[in-house]
Amino acid sequence: MSAPAPDGPPDLVVAAERLFDGEVLHHGRAVVVRGGRITDVTADPPPASRLVRLPPGAILAPGFVDVQVNGGGGVLLNDDPSPAGIARIAAAHRGGGTTALLPTLISDTRPAIRAAIAAVAGAIAAGVPGILGIHLEGPFLSPERPGIHDPARLAGLMPGDVELLTGLGGRGVTLVTLAPEVVPPGTVAALVARGARVSAGHTADDGAAIRAALDEGLTGFTHLFNAMSQLGPRAAGAVGVALADDRAFAGIIADGHHVGEAALRIAARLKGPARLMLVTDAMSPVGDPEAGATFRLFGRTIHRDGDRLAAADGTLAGAALTMAGAVRHMTARGGASLEAALAMASLTPARFLGLDGRIGRIAPGYAADLVALDGALAVLGTWIGGDVAPAGA
């Protein structure tokens, strides 16, 4: 499991009693890092400039990949579309094991979309660690299933919108969540042709428009079960299509509030760890030690009760969740094995984004993006490109 490396000691060696490589759990292995990339996984670690031996019972895994992060560290992308704001969001989520993420813009105006794309481009150009691109969740969503999105900011597709949504170009990944029934036929194909990945979400469709979108290249479902049409006795709805179609990935919020235990177990059994991926749908309180009991979202007061975020009418408003917390919940309540839950947090989202050739695994040639967890699956520390950061959440 080694790759050619320059002479001299490696930059970093991390040794662990247990190592999950993205697919298989190994015992007594060490990861060898040079120049920010993994060069070897071995049972006989060489001398290194930095040697880290994880404590007994700890596990080393690929860093978590979160495709839906609205905010963190006291910042929402909608409120602060800047490279500095994005850096603060990413830093907040490292404490929860996330080493790569998509900052996510909740439905907003076209100028706000342009500003968010420009901010993400700036963050990537500045080398902000862990920023993969952008997730544009809306505004082309069903007014029947808005969730916490502001109905006044939902929109119909207009000429030029496909180009607007894909303005990041090749500088990073673009993920677009839309309701297939509210956009003209061919929209998904046009977005995919311009390099975007497309998910169905906030949709009231009975299944017909979603199946057509899958044929056009739609590959994902955003927060499965939430803000979408449900499985019925005759109409499949978004949930039924998501569970039945093996082509599609599905994100799921495993926090004990968005999805019940039985639904988590059904999704895990039907989609499996190769197609079901954990997401946080995180809001600004995550990783913010000064977070209060409320915050504002599009003029509405959002109340925090423990790790539950909701408006006054009870509508859930994203989550106060880390990826490590989602992994813990999926193993404790979702019927997932440790290996399956870790894959749902790393290799599966990397594969969904088409990045599984460089992140999501611990293998030679991959980025040295790693998370160390203790026996209770609390984060001990993370590395991005071999650079360490302490646990903060």
- Cβ-based neighbours of 86, under 8 Å, separated by 6 or more: 77, 103, 119, 120, 123, 128, 131
Q: CA 321, 324, 330 angle in degrees (round to 5)?
A: 85
374 is catalytic: no
> Do 147 and 316 form a contact (C-beta atoms < 8 A)?
yes
CA dist 338 and 343 (Å) reads 9
Of the residues 11, 21, 108, 281, only one is catalytic, namely 281
127: which residues sit within 8 A by CB, 6+ positions away? none
Q: At CB < 8 A and 24+ separation, what contacts does 148-153 make?
A: 148/106, 148/297, 148/300, 148/302, 148/311, 148/315, 148/316, 148/317, 148/318, 149/106, 149/107, 149/202, 150/107, 150/298, 150/299, 153/107, 153/108, 153/109, 153/298
CB-based contacts of 64: which residues, under 8 Å, 6+ apart?
96, 97, 98, 99, 100, 278, 323, 324, 327, 345, 346, 371
> Residue 359 has which token pair?
């992140």
> How far is 191 from 101, CA to CA, in rounded Å?
21
The DSSP result for 331-382, as a single string, is HHTS---HHHHHHHTTHHHHHHTT-TTTSSS-STTSB--EEEE-TT--EEEE
Phi, psi values for residue 333, rounded to 5°:
-125, -20
Query: Which is nearest to 169 in space by CA: 148, 142, 196?
Result: 196
* Catalytic residue numbers, as ranges: 281
